[in-house]
C-alpha cells in the first residue's frame, strides 16, 4: 500500500486527485495539505470533495513538516504554486520522502534548486508539467514531427481557464523545448486565458502547400489525475534515488 501526501489538496486539481486516490486499492491518502492558515483546516478532505468521511483532515502548509513526520508517506505529490512547491519539496527531501511535482511556472533557478535538493537527498522524483497519458504521447509525437519537419514554420497555441496564473503553460513551454532540441529554433507560443477551459494545446507545422496540426484537448482534470496515478506507480518501478524524471519516462 503506497501512502500519499498531497499538497494543494483543496484546489481544483487537488480535489480531483483526492477523488481518484480514494478508489485506488493500492494507494492511501494519508495527508491533505492546503495553503497556510486555510479556512478548511480541520475538515475531512473526503467530505470536501463530496466522497464522504476519510479520517484525513486538511492541514495548512505551515504544518507540513510535522504532518509528514506523523503520517510517514511514501511520496509527496505537489500541485500548488512554484514558490510553495520549492519549499514543500525541500521539506519532503529533508525527510527522505519521494516526490511527484505537477506544479508549473518554475523559473530556471527554482527548477535547478529542486533538482539539486533531490540529488542531494537521493529521493526518487518526477517533475513534469503534464501528467496525462495522452499529452505524454503527444510529447513523443512532437519529437518525431519536429525531426522530420525541421524546416517548417512552427507555432504553438495553448488555452486555459481564466484563473490559471502562469502563461505560457508549463506544457506549452515543454513542447517548445522539445521542438527546439530537434530543430534549433524555438517556436512562438500564443496563450489564451478564458472561461473554464481545462487545457488545449495545438502545435502547428506549416510548410509548402500543407499544414500539420497536433492537438491535445483535456476534457476534464480526470485525465491529469489518472495519469498521476500511473506516474506514482511508475516512480517506484522505474525511478532511482537522486534521479529527476519526467512523467513520460515512467509512463511508457
Q: Which DSSP string corresponds to 51-102?
A: S---S-BEEEGGGHHHHHHHH--SEEEE-S-HHHHHHHHHHHHHTT-EEEE-
Q: Among 50, 76, 46, which Cα is nearest to 61's? A: 76
Q: Find how far residue 195's CA is from the centre of its chain.
A: 21
What is the helix (H) or strand (E) element at residue 125, kind and residue range? Answer: strand 125-127
In the structure grid, which three cell numbers stand for residue 8, read together? 494543494
Whether 57 is a known active-site residue: answer no
Whether 216 is a known active-site residue: answer no
Of 72, 160, 216, 238, catalytic: 160
Of 23, 53, 161, 164, catalytic: 164
Sheet holding 210-218, edge to edge: 188-193, 153-160, 199-207, 210-218
Distance CA 147, CA 179 (A): 8
Q: Among 153, 129, 152, which Cα is nearest to 218's? A: 129
Active site positions, annotated: 160, 164
Amino acid at each position: 500500500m503506497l501512502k500519499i501526501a498531497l499538497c494543494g489538496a483543496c484546489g481544483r486539481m487537488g480535489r480531483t486527485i483526492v477523488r481518484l486516490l480514494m478508489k485506488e486499492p493500492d494507494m492511501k491518502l494519508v495527508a491533505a495539505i492546503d495553503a497556510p492558515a486555510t479556512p478548511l483546516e480541520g475538515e475531512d478532505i473526503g467530505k470536501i470533495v463530496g466522497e464522504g468521511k476519510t479520517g484525513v483532515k486538511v492541514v495548512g502548509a505551515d504544518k507540513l513538516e510535522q504532518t509528514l513526520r506523523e503520517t510517514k508517506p511514501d511520496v509527496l505529490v505537489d500541485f500548488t504554486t512554484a514558490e510553495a512547491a520549492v519549499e514543500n519539496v525541500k521539506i519532503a527531501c529533508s525527510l527522505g520522502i519521494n516526490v511527484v511535482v505537477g506544479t508549473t511556472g518554475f523559473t530556471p533557478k527554482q527548477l535547478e534548486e529542486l533538482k539539486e535538493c533531490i540529488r542531494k537527498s537521493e529521493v526518487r522524483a518526477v517533475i513534469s508539467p503534464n501528467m496525462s497519458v495522452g499529452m505524454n504521447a503527444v510529447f513523443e509525437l512532437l519529437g518525431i514531427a519536429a525531426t522530420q519537419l525541421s524546416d517548417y514554420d512552427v507555432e504553438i497555441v495553448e488555452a486555459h481557464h481564466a484563473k490559471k496564473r502562469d502563461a505560457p503553460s508549463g506544457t506549452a513551454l515543454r513542447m517548445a523545448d522539445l521542438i527546439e532540441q530537434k530543430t534549433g529554433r524555438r517556436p512562438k507560443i500564443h496563450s489564451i486565458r478564458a472561461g473554464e477551459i481545462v487545457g488545449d494545446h495545438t502545435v502547428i507545422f506549416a510548410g509548402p502547400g500543407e499544414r500539420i496540426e497536433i492537438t491535445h484537448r483535456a476534457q476534464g482534470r480526470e485525465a491529469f489525475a489518472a495519469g498521476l496515478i500511473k506516474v506514482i506507480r511508475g516512480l517506484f518501478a522505474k525511478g532511482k534515488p537522486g534521479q529527476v524524471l519526467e512523467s513520460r519516462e515512467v509512463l511508457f
